[in-house]
Amino acid sequence: MLSMDTLNRQNHEIAELTKVLAHLIGERELCDTAIANDLLDRYVERVQEHFERNNTQVYGELLTHRDVAVNNTARRFLEGEKEIKRLFNDFVGRWCRSGLHIDNHERFLSEAGDIFRLVSRRIQAECEELYPLARRVDRGTQIASHA
């Protein structure tokens, strides 16, 4: 299993990429640069990696835990992740096919902003709720059942 420190570092990198990209893509001329394209590709890779490989390792123990509240929290995060992945993949498919393709800068900015906010909120929720819960479960801390 990946360490919580590793997951937190990955989340921090995604957060940094989000902030830089949000400023960079605000100017139309900068969207057409190789640097913007490379950063967006890196962002896409990191987010997809995070959802496809990393978080799934956290869910395993939480979904099989004997405490119903722990199970419910893990299920809620997993369901939310499915929707985020769907929206994220739609965004990538529309704008990032074989490089960045922007035919409508205003629409791209709006959709990118929505995706950045969605991913950022998710990362914050993981850091504030999911990972602390996983740490408590991993340490064997007794979690009060809400059943």
Q: Crossing angle for the helix pair 34-49 and 4-24, nearest 10 degrees? A: 150
Q: What is the CA radius of gyration of the chain?
A: 17
Chain centre to alpha carbon of residue 25: 19
Q: Which tens digits make up the pLDDT trace of 39-76?
A: 999 999 999 998 887 667 778 888 888 899 999 999 99
Residue 144 CB neighbour total at 10 angstroms:
7
pTM higher than 0.75: yes
Q: Which tens digits make up the pLDDT trace of 63-113?
A: 888 899 999 999 999 999 999 999 999 999 998 877 677 889 999 999 999
Residue identified by tokens 């990198």 is 13
- The CATH class, in words, for 4-137 is mainly alpha
